[in-house]
């Protein structure tokens, strides 16, 4: 799967069953369900989850919390737009 085919799945009511939890979180975020995306990712202890968690809090407008999670992910808050970062995340996790 690539970015284009991932975008095509957004017309469905449920994410494709083969998606990882990371991709599922990004799928729900793109569908406007921030809460579900956050629920899927918030308790995972790895850097991948921390990056998505950071993005979600950046999107929420909670910069302090986002920066905490970017640090946990070993990253800095990007200069990219939210849409640009979402695309980077999708390309990394699908």
Which residue do the tokens 């921030």 mark? 34
Q: In this structure, is residue 22 part of a structural domain?
A: no
Measured between alpha carbons, how far is 5 from 71 in angstroms, rounded to an integer? 31
Total domains, the chain: 1
Q: In this structure, is residue 14 part of a structural domain?
A: no
The upper half-sphere exposure of residue 88, i.e. CA atoms within 13 Å in the direction of its Cβ, equals 13
Q: In this structure, is residue 15 part of a structural domain?
A: no
pLDDT of residue 81: 96
DSSP 84: H
- Count of beta carbons in the 10 Å neighbourhood of residue 14: 10
Q: In this structure, is residue 18 part of a structural domain?
A: no
pLDDT of residue 7: 97
- Count of beta carbons in the 10 Å neighbourhood of residue 53: 24
pLDDT tens digits for 34-81?
999 999 999 999 999 999 999 999 999 999 999 999 999 999 999 999
Q: In this structure, is residue 39 part of a structural domain?
A: yes
pLDDT of residue 63: 95
Q: pTM for the complete prediction?
A: 0.96
Query: Which residue range is the domain that position 50 belongs to?
Result: 3-7+28-93
Percentage with pLDDT > 90 across the chain: 99
Q: In this structure, is residue 12 part of a structural domain?
A: no
> Which residue, among 9, 74, 80, has the nearest Cα to 46 in the 3D structure?
74
What is the chain's mean pLDDT, rounded? 97
């Amino acid at each position: 799967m690539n970015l284009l085919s991932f975008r095509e799945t957004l017309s469905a009511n449920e994410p494709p069953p083969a998606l990882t939890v990371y991709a599922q979180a990004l799928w729900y975020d793109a569908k406007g369900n921030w809460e579900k995306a956050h629920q899927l990712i918030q308790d995972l202890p790895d850097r991948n989850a921390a990056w998505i968690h950071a993005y979600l809090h950046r999107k929420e407008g909670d910069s302090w919390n986002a920066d905490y999670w970017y640090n946990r992910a070993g990253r800095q808050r990007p200069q990219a737009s939210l849409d640009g970062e979402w695309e980077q995340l999708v390309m990394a996790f699908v």
